[in-house]
Structure 1
Amino acid sequence: MGSYFRNLPFFVVLLFTAAGAMLVPSVYGLAVRDHDAARVFFYTGILVAILATLLGFATQGWARRRIDNDQKYLVSLLSSYVWLPVILGVPMFEVIGNTRAINVYLDMVSALTTTGAPVFEPLRLADTVHLWRATVGWLGGLLTWVTAMAILAPLNLGGFEVTSEATAVGQRMPNSGQMRAAAPAERLWRQARVLAPVYMALTAVLAAGLALAGERPLHAAIHAMSTLSTSGIMATGGFKDSDTGVVGEILIALFLIFALTRRSFTSGFGMAALDRVARDREVRLALFAVVVLPTFLFMRHWLGAYEVDELANTGGALTALWGSVFTVLSFLTTTGFVSDHWAGAQSWSGLETSGLILVGVAIVGGGVATTAGGLKLLRVYALYKHGAREIDRLVHPHSVAGAGRLGRRIRREGAFVAWIFFMLFLVSIAVVMLALTAAGLPFEQALMLAIAALSTCGPLASVAGTEPVIYLALGDAPKIILSAAMIVGRMESLVFLAVLSPGFWRSQA
């Protein structure tokens, strides 16, 4: 039996995981006497487990003969994002009952890629379905953590190409040589054993904190899972319907640090780990964005002489400032939570197009090897350092810059690769926009949806534009295009180029 599980293909392992995950809404449905939903999830979980078992037996001989390399795991990961939502959507389709399969598939792709697009109205879905969507998003976040450290880091992809050094569990490994010495399956199992307990513990702590702050236990669990996975999935219509108020938003903001840098969960806990996080390049850049942009919105109230009667309203000023800080941080990590005071922040600033700020921070994205999407902070930092160095050379042409070997690597090769990814990201936005407009969508909707899908920040399309985009009202063609764009945004275009590169295939043979 041990050899059976050791030889299971990656996709089959994910099928077993999906079957086990279906027990979560099944048990909850049984507890709240929603027996119909509980039976659907339970029976579907049994069928998926049987399917996975049969596939495991069918692939045992092939598994022993196959060459275990990183490239095949990239292909397996891509196929998992494409086909796994079909299986994950079966119980949801049966429980909802009055919807079409394409809507459920879009929602499951959105959850698994941690995009969190609000496809269905919250009041339309039962609590068991809300819990299932959050569970799929939470597992998608864990999948991102594990595959980033076990597969992408050794290949110098997913943002690691900027430094060409992987950091796993607080230990630096130049050129990822130590990680690539082990087989990919062994690395996946090793990283899962290290990261999964941390991921679960952080989720449990945040859920307990939200529950103590007054949130309903189910909603506390869902919002905690959505925060750690940055899926942004909510069981309510927003924080306006939450009972925690600012306290809950503060708790969530504290845990969004794990989407800004991988050092927050790979360096352990303690003063030394806190010091490494505080000195991390990605955290410093994120703090700069979170401080500067809300300050701009806050100060514009006086610069524009907007609503002078509110100048003495200290409470309104502080709530508006917090609303902008929390919302900017949430969209920077591509979570997509909107503060209950964001409307007040928009009114306070008097800026009619304040949603464009959220578009910008969502494109920047969070940290490398985290659940956040977008360009990633490390790539933006590399471009900034290269630009600052070039400006310095205009003034001092013969100067020699310091910052050590790693700093020089970031300014030179790292900035070059970051610029390539930036161009690929823009081209991807243009291609998705062209496809959406060809499918009949207007320009603004196509732009917002393309950025939301490729940055894995689904709520962006409903918040940043002049008019909110309703995903459910889109046609079938835009939904298929968006599903593909979400998968591309989750895996990143450089990974696709690596998969399609003949040289990469030969190097992995």
Structure 2
Amino acid sequence: MGFANVQRVIGFLIAASSLMMLPPVLVSWWYHDGTANLFLICAAILLLAGTLIYLPVRGARRELRLRDGFLIVVSSWLALVLVGALPFVLLITPQIGYVDAVFESMSGLTTTGATILSNIESLPHAVLYYRQQLQWLGGMGIIVLAVAILPILRIGGMQLFRAEMPGPQKETKLTPRIAETAKALWMIYVGITTACIMAFWLGGMSLFDAVGQAFSTVAIGGFSTHDASLAYWDSPTIEVIAMTFMVIAGVNFGLHFTAWRRATMQYYFQDPELKAYTLLLFLFVLLVSLALFFSGTYPDFPSALRHGSFQVVSVMTTTGFTTAPFFEWPGFLPTFLIFIAFIGGCAGSTAGGMKVIRIVLLYRQAVREIRRLIHPHAVIPVRIGGQKASPTVMDAVWGFFFLFIASFAVVTLALTATGIDAVTAYSAAGACITNLGPALGGAGLNYADLNNTAKLILSLTMLLGRLEVYTLLVLMTPAFWRD
């Protein structure tokens, strides 16, 4: 195991993360909110700590293999979460405990959007900006992880589309080509974010709010600069802009890259996962809107369609923005929306959940088994987009599905063991493992009232969901640590 290489990467990341403290300093100076020194102190601490970790192993150059990749991914995320919590810990007003600070940092970097904060508008501008920046940087990290790294680590069957994705997908080791992939993805990510900022600004937001909401929208995060989320503006125009960019961010960024590089839209129309993603969004929007209308929640169908469509898009992409308190909606709708989040967006996007491609493969496998009952001797392969899914891929997908649902069940039981009621427990577990954010019951408004044990459990649950389950659980097996 290349522990020196892991230490070198962690040290470099911690030192480099000092740079993410500088934009809040500029925001603080602009708005004179008095927090500039806090972020400068954080930057100095991180630069010093990272340098001290990096220097003893700066000469380590062992070639990175798959096993090193798992350890580096998990260690890097944990290190960045602890780093990201530092400004919250040092903040004087309001005072935030260490567990709450870690929870907020984990929620931001995993783009979950669950928060322990209330009265958000009273926070200094620099802190408000920093929360949004955490999600934006986390979103970019997720894209690189999902498109460039997880496929070569063979996580949950995502190697199925390695040929279509940019980067080192066919390699068996981590190579510098990941850097090339990351640069291309950064260009697309920044481009989409810039377009989203301009759209929000032209839609009526202040520039500060436009930047904050765009960071959260493109990262599919859910943090907002206002307690009421996007309901603060009560604007159909802003809601349409948000839905547009949430849907775009929920599409495979490898697909965005291919379409951009070859300057053609045909790849979008040919992608089977995108077709399923679009169809599911349409069906869920129709179902929820009709349920809201016939239940009398809204007086007319246009109002029901407006709120129903926004909430479905927000939940299925696991963004977590709200324009209405959906946890108070009648009947089956609150639970149904939580279940939608389990599907999530497309693989290779900033969305959470199990991903549409896995759901499609599981559905086609189930259909095949039914057909084989009728024709037991027929050879019926599982195909998607004209490509045959290998038994290895299907085994990985089924394994991922089992571990995802089993993890959800274990977390739910663990939360109830801490004294949380069943509705809050299952919805919070579902909202965190899918990286959705908003939950039901006691976590409907925020997670502040949960006990510290529950917050730590949910923090690990967010990381478990974001790292596609396998990446974290593989480190818990004895075989991983044997040479």
Q: TM-score if structure 2 supplies the norm length? A: 0.89
- Structure 1 residues 9 and 389: CA distance shift in structure 2, 3 A: same
Match of 1:445 among 424, 430, 450: 424
Q: How does 1:249-398 map to 2 (within 5 A)?
A: 249-256=239-246, 257-269=248-260, 273-300=264-291, 306-307=295-296, 316-339=300-323, 351-397=330-376
Deviation at 1:399, TM superposition (A): 5.1
Q: Tell me if 1:12 matches 2:11.
A: yes
Report if the CA contact (8 A) 2:311-2:322 is conserved. yes
SS at match of 1:269: helix
| Cα distance in 1, alignment partners of residues 446 and 323 from structure 2 | 20
For residues 28-71 of structure 1, what are the alpha-carbon distances to aligned partners after superposition, in whole Å with 9 as ceiling and x for unaligned? 1101112x21121123213312322333222213x23x342232
| Cα distance in 2, alignment partners of residues 447 and 7 from structure 1 | 35
2:197 aligned residue: 207
Q: Tell me if 1:217 matches 2:207.
A: yes
- Structure 1 residues 238 and 272: CA distance shift in structure 2, 3 A: same
- Segments of structure 2 that go 5 or more residues without pairing to the other structure are none
Deviation at 1:319, TM superposition (A): 2.8
Deviation at 1:331, TM superposition (A): 1.0
- Structure 1 residues 319 and 17: CA distance shift in structure 2, 3 A: farther
Q: Partner letter of residue 277 of structure 1? A: Y
- Structure 1 residues 95 and 364: CA distance shift in structure 2, 3 A: same
Q: How does 1:121-160 map to 2 (within 5 A)?
A: 121=118, 122-157=120-155, 159-160=157-158
Deviation at 1:355, TM superposition (A): 0.9
Q: Partner letter of residue 14 of structure 2? A: L
1:487 aligned residue: 463
| Cα distance in 1, alignment partners of residues 240 and 277 from structure 2 | 17
Report if the CA contact (8 A) 2:8-2:53 is conserved. no
Aligned residues: 475
1:107 aligned residue: 104
| Cα distance in 1, alignment partners of residues 443 and 318 from structure 2 | 20
Report if the CA contact (8 A) 1:203-1:225 is conserved. yes
Report if the CA contact (8 A) 2:201-2:210 is conserved. yes
Q: Partner letter of residue 237 of structure 2? A: V
| Cα distance in 2, alignment partners of residues 402 and 101 from structure 1 | 52
Match of 2:224 among 217, 230, 234: 234
Q: Partner letter of residue 48 of structure 1? A: L
1:85 aligned residue: 81
1:188 aligned residue: 178
| Cα distance in 1, alignment partners of residues 221 and 145 from structure 2 | 17
2:21 aligned residue: 22
- Structure 1 residues 385 and 439: CA distance shift in structure 2, 3 A: same
- Segments of structure 1 that go 5 or more residues without pairing to the other structure are 1-5
- Structure 1 residues 273 and 324: CA distance shift in structure 2, 3 A: farther
Deviation at 1:188, TM superposition (A): 3.2
Moved more, 377-386 or 96-105: 96-105
| Cα distance in 1, alignment partners of residues 82 and 145 from structure 2 | 21
2:40 aligned residue: 42
Q: Partner letter of residue 399 of structure 2? A: I
- Structure 1 residues 103 and 403: CA distance shift in structure 2, 3 A: closer
Q: Partner letter of residue 282 of structure 2? A: V
| Cα distance in 2, alignment partners of residues 78 and 31 from structure 1 | 36
For residues 337-389 of structure 1, what are the alpha-carbon distances to aligned partners after superposition, in whole Å with 9 as ceiling and x for unaligned? 1235x76x987xxx423111211111111111222111111110001111222
Report if the CA contact (8 A) 1:264-1:277 is conserved. yes
| Cα distance in 2, alignment partners of residues 403 and 272 from structure 1 | 31
- Structure 1 residues 501 and 7: CA distance shift in structure 2, 3 A: closer
1:3 aligned residue: none
- Structure 1 residues 319 and 263: CA distance shift in structure 2, 3 A: farther
Deviation at 1:212, TM superposition (A): 0.9
Q: TM-score if structure 1 supplies the norm length? A: 0.85
Report if the CA contact (8 A) 1:15-1:52 is conserved. yes
Moved more, 434-443 or 84-93: 84-93
Q: Tell me if 1:55 matches 2:49.
A: no
Deviation at 1:152, TM superposition (A): 1.2
Q: Partner letter of residue 113 of structure 2? A: G
| Cα distance in 2, alignment partners of residues 168 and 467 from structure 1 | 38
Report if the CA contact (8 A) 1:439-1:478 is conserved. yes
SS at match of 1:154: helix
Report if the CA contact (8 A) 1:146-1:192 is conserved. yes
1:478 aligned residue: 454
Deviation at 1:272, TM superposition (A): 6.1
Percent same amino acid among aligned pairs? Answer: 27
Deviation at 1:457, TM superposition (A): 1.1
Q: Partner letter of residue 299 of structure 1? A: L
| Cα distance in 2, alignment partners of residues 17 and 246 from structure 1 | 40
Deviation at 1:500, TM superposition (A): 4.6
Deviation at 1:82, TM superposition (A): 2.3
User: For the aligned residues, what is the CA RMSD?
Assistant: 3.0
